Amino acid sequence: MGTFIDKTFSIVANILLGIIPTTSGEKKAFTYYRDATRPEKDPYDRSFILYNIGLIHTSNGEHTKALEYYFRALERNPFLPQAFNNMAVICHYAILEGDSEIAEAWFNQAAEYWKQAIALTPDNYIEARNWLKITKRFELE
């Protein structure tokens, strides 16, 4: 299981990243978290560290880096619905910002990530569930 410190950091990081504007100094401080954390050998604990780093990159608008860390977290712990959700949100954001010709591929990728998040935690991600219903990408009970 994740250590108390890692779980606490996850909770605090989620709260802080949601309410505090991210300045370049804060971005730098969060990147030091990665360097300051001792190498964690337990894959489960390591997955939360990698997920937290992904959160930081997401907050900083560094979506490619964020996806990399979410993938790395899921390699170690495939039961992180929040990582799948965040990856889907990044894909959905890319649709809004990107080329309409590749939008369908991004929609399909977002749908796949949300399906995985919902499969792991069926009572969560109501907005994603509704989006999947509306776009007819997922038949839900």
pLDDT of residue 36: 47
In the block, tokens 């930081």 appear at 56
pLDDT of residue 117: 92
pLDDT of residue 1: 44
Token pair, residue 35, equals: 């360097």
pTM to 2 decimals? 0.65
**Cα 102 to Cα 16: distance, rounded to the nearest angstrom:** 34
**Cα 75 to Cα 32: distance, rounded to the nearest angstrom:** 23
pLDDT of residue 34: 60
Q: Do the Cβ atoms of 50 and 8 come closer than 8 Å?
A: no
**Cα 79 to Cα 105: distance, rounded to the nearest angstrom:** 24
Domains, the chain, in order of start with CATH, read: 1-78 (1.25.40), 80-141 (no CATH)
Instruction: Provide the CA 69 distance to its chain's centre, in angstroms.
Output: 9
pLDDT of residue 54: 94
Helix, strand, coil abundance in the chain, percent, nearest 5: 75, 0, 25
pLDDT of residue 136: 84
Q: Encode the chain (141 residues) as per-residue pLDDT tens digits.
A: 445 555 555 555 555 555 555 666 666 766 666 664 556 678 888 899 899 999 999 999 898 899 999 999 999 999 999 999 999 888 888 878 776 666 777 788 888 899 999 999 989 989 988 888 888 887 654
